[in-house]
Amino acid sequence: MSGLLDELYRLQERLRFVQTRERERDTVPAELTEVDNAFREKLDAVARLKQRLIEAEIEHRRASAELSDLQEKQKKYQTQLRNVQSSREYSAVLNEMDGVEKQIRVTEDRVLALEEELETSRADLSKREQNLPRETAEHEEKMKGWRVTQRGINEELQAARVEIADLESRIRPRERSEFQRLLEKKGGLAVARVINASCSACHVKVRPAAMQSLKGGNEIIYCDSCRRILYYDPHNP
Ligand SMILES: [Zn+2]
């Protein structure tokens, strides 16, 4: 039994270790935050620019298609205009043509504006993409020390995960799932050490009878107050 509790306590410790270390690995240190943000902003700008180019190309194709439709219409009205029979019909067609011409001017302006935007954005993107390899190298150089730290953490995590898998394989499924359930319910702390005859998680005194059972180490004892599994380490009471 005490073997099981040792294993549960160690498993919990390793799981908490992994959680903490993962967070540390994924949090850029304060002194590098600005450098890292500046670099990320460059990457984001390239991504945004690419996205905008895709959209602008679609808008440009659409506006160009609209323009040729309008120009077709204009030609049709020009033909009609040559064949009108009455002055009333003539002014009606002229009126329609007027409307189409206005639309043509607006659409032409849009096509031109998009062409300008596409040209500027393509140049901007190509300049940024040209600089990116150098900027990435410079950034990685500044982050070098941190990358070494991150690799070190990854190695620690790797070792911890191996130990976790080993511990999990040794704990019976029923006890493992009970532990897992408690772990989720109790914010990652399922097993609480008993220190000075108190539960170290909620600081409530452990009843003397429960203390006796804990010292006997032959059953799982839950804290009366917080319902965590109590862990008594005779070498560290
Ligand atoms: Zn408790």
User: What's the pLDDT score for residue 236?
Assistant: 74
Q: What is the pLDDT of residues 202-221, one digit of tens each?
A: 999 999 999 999 988 778 89
Largest CA distance in the chain: 115
* Residue 188: its H or E element: none
Q: What is the pLDDT of residues 145-177, one digit of tens each?
A: 999 999 999 999 999 999 999 999 999 999 999
The structural domains of the chain, ordered by start, are 26-156 (1.10.287.1700), 172-231 (no CATH)
User: What's the pLDDT score for residue 2?
Assistant: 57
* Residue 229: its H or E element: strand 229-231
9/6 Cα distance (integer angstroms): 5
Distance (angstroms) between ligand 1 centre and the Cα of 235 equals 20
Distance (angstroms) between ligand 1 centre and the Cα of 199 equals 5
Q: What is the pLDDT of residues 58-105, one digit of tens each?
A: 999 999 999 999 999 999 999 999 998 899 999 999 999 999 999 999
Distance (angstroms) between ligand 1 centre and the Cα of 233 equals 16
Residues having C-beta closer than 5 Å to ion ligand 1: 199, 201-202, 223, 225-226
Alpha-helix residue ranges (DSSP H) falling in 27-86: 30-82
- Predicted model pTM: 0.66
Q: 175 Cβ partners below 8 Å, 6+ apart?
A: 4, 8
